Structure 1
Amino acid sequence: MALDHHDATNSVHSTTARGSEDATLSAAEMQEQLDQFTHIMQQKFLLGEDYEHLDYSKIDNDQTLDDHWQREANHDAEEKYFAED
């Protein structure tokens, strides 16, 4: 079941409102709430919607991060090559 950002956010808000009626949640319900929250926050990050907390231009313009990524990719390729022997 795919939720778009607004559906997921509305679901969390309605659950929070209901939470004042139901004082406690089961462990499974708490985990579901945490999973929903984590998913929403990951989507906000990936979509750039948390720009007020993170300056994406610093990440996008940092060439050293690209260098690190390239070294990691090369290392992974070497490991894969030698693991095939």
Structure 2
Amino acid sequence: MLKELRKLLEPFGIANLFTDDWGAYHRVPLAPNHFVGKRNTQRIERKHLTWRTRIKRLARKTICFSKCEVMHDTVIGLFINRYEFGLEI
């Protein structure tokens, strides 16, 4: 599964893998560009918290939840364009 994820991220130029010191990561052989530490994982966890707070569709027990995957992808894509890149679409 990790190999599949790495293949998906390769076209975007994402080469580094940051994890915390969770025991499951020690059982999986990871690439030499794997870094363990709280500094970088804290950044991504903060971003995920912001997304969950601002995009109610990511929280299952809300009235905004939709079972349609296309709607999820559209709403999340629009949010990323606006929040990350400042683009109004």
TM-score calculated relative to the size of structure 2: 0.31
Q: Larger relative contact order (C-alpha < 8 A, sep ≥ 6)?
A: 1
TM-score calculated relative to the size of structure 1: 0.32
* More strand per residue: 2
| Max Rg structure | 1
